[in-house]
Chain A
Amino acid sequence: MHETAFQIFVNALLANNLVLAMFLGLCPFLGVSGRLETAFPMGMATTFVMLVASLCAYGLNLLLGHFHLEFLRLISYIVIIASAVQLVEMVLKKYSPSLFRALGIYLPLITTNCAVLGIALFQTSREYDFVQSLAFSTGGGAGFTLALVLMASVRERLQLSSVPDLVQGTALSLMLAGILSLSFMGFAGLGG
């Protein structure tokens, strides 16, 4: 089965949204989506890490395949992702210290964001070529940002309305995520 890069992009963005359809990257999704102004930069930072990780993973996979060292795949992917996160952290610290503080602990935690590793693993198991990997990681990153921004907007509105005491907090966020996920199911089959 050969998918075009555009199909992969749309699929990763909407129909198979990383967060809402595949449950990847839920920790930052629930943790950082409190306010819109941190949600968007977080999405962008994650997208950048995804892109770097995905490209490196593609090259690395060729290398590992060449030397028949496939069992090292997981470990080496993790190391790549950790270095990419370190890079983003240094850049942010230098150019936007306020943003760096706002993201706090969630920035280094991009390392353990399953969405990033998930992208790298899925592109390997689906045997995407270079362009397809590129489309997959940008689509996935854009999808992650989209979900984060949507969730943050809803939660900002929700702070102004009165909610029963009992459902405050995580339970409420999960129900919201469920409803968002329900609406994203409407995109099924869009990417062909």
Chain B
Amino acid sequence: MSATVTWDEFTEGIWRQNPVFVMVLGLCPMLAVTVSAVNAMTMGLATMFVLVCSSALVSLMRKMVPKEVRIATYIVIIATFVTVVDYLIQAVSLELYEALGAFIQLIVVNCIILGRAEAHASKNPPLPAMINALGMSIGFFIGLFALGSVREILGAGTLFGVSLFGSGFQPWVIMVLPPGGFFVLGGWLLFFSWMGRRKQRKQTEKLAGVSGHA
């Protein structure tokens, strides 16, 4: 059996079904760690690893696991990979580990991962499942980065620790504090819904124009 992998399976998670901006999943780790762009990227990479590995394993085991205990099985699989990532980050950079704190372990309860396992990986062969998971995690990564960079630029005047505006900049501290996370994400969602509206309006205008000429 040759598995067919469609391009759509990959891009679905990046744009049409972006986990952050369209489905609004996985908010907890997202808002908590996006104080700076570096933290956000580490979180994105860690989630990517867990998501791809657990999707592959879930998909491999999809015929063995009885339906009644599937959720419990998925959770244990995910928790295993999260433990791996947790120890890995601790070994690579202790500083980063302290900054992210309990939120690495909290990847276990990231709804995106369980959602993918249930909705996609449990019904598809390993290759498409992994491709789909990769697309999803890139979408999540983009979302994290969009949030983290905006918050770091506004709240600290830096990006990746490099000062952007010189010494005269008065940092907008509230942006790196908890309320800022809500505001920035709300702002991004507003932006995307505005874009969607505009596109829709243009299309209807175009249609109206065509029928008017004809």
By a beta-carbon cutoff of 8 Å, the part of chain A in contact with chain B is 20-27, 30, 71, 74-75, 78-79, 82, 108-109, 111-114, 117-118, 121-122, 125, 166-167, 169-172, 174-175, 177-179, 181-182, 185
Contact = CB atoms under 8 A, between A and B. Distances in A.
Contacts of A118: 102, 106
A40 B178 CA distance: 24
Nearest to A122: B102
Contacts, number: 112
A118 B189 CA distance: 26
Given A23-B181, A112-B114, A118-B102, 14 more contacts: A23-B28, A25-B28, A27-B28, A27-B111, A74-B83, A74-B108, A75-B76, A111-B75, A112-B110, A114-B109, A117-B105, A170-B24, A171-B186, A178-B183
B76 A22 contact: no
Contacts of A111: 71, 75, 109
Contacts of A82: 71-72, 75
B80 to A, nearest CB: 7
Interface of B: 24-25, 27-29, 31-32, 71-72, 75-76, 79-80, 82-83, 86-87, 101-102, 105-106, 108-111, 114, 174, 177-183, 185-186, 189-190, 193-194, 197
A175 B183 CA distance: 6
Given A112-B111, A170-B24, A179-B179, A74 B185 contact: no
Given A174-B186, A175-B186, A178-B183, A78 B108 contact: yes
Given A71-B87, A114-B28, A114-B106, A178 B76 contact: no
B175 to A, nearest CB: 11
Contacts of B174: 182
Contacts of B111: 27, 109, 112
B179 A23 contact: no
A167 B182 contact: no
B182 A181 contact: yes
Contacts of B76: 75, 78-79
A113 B108 CA distance: 10
Dominant secondary structure at the B interface: helix
A3 to B, nearest CB: 18
A8 B75 CA distance: 30
A109 to B, nearest CB: 8
B29 to A, nearest CB: 8
Contacts of A171: 186, 189-190, 193
Contacts of B101: 125
9 contacts: A30-B24, A74-B79, A78-B76, A79-B72, A117-B108, A117-B109, A118-B106, A181-B178, A182-B179
Contact of A74 (B86, B114, B189): B86
Contacts of A30: 24, 27
A13 to B, nearest CB: 16
A159 to B, nearest CB: 18
Contacts of B181: 23, 178
A55 B25 CA distance: 29
A108 B80 CA distance: 21
Contacts of A25: 28
A74 B82 contact: yes
A27 B185 CA distance: 14
Nearest to A167: B190
B79 A23 contact: no
Contacts of A166: 190, 193-194, 197
A26 to B, nearest CB: 4
Nearest to B102: A121
B109 A113 contact: yes
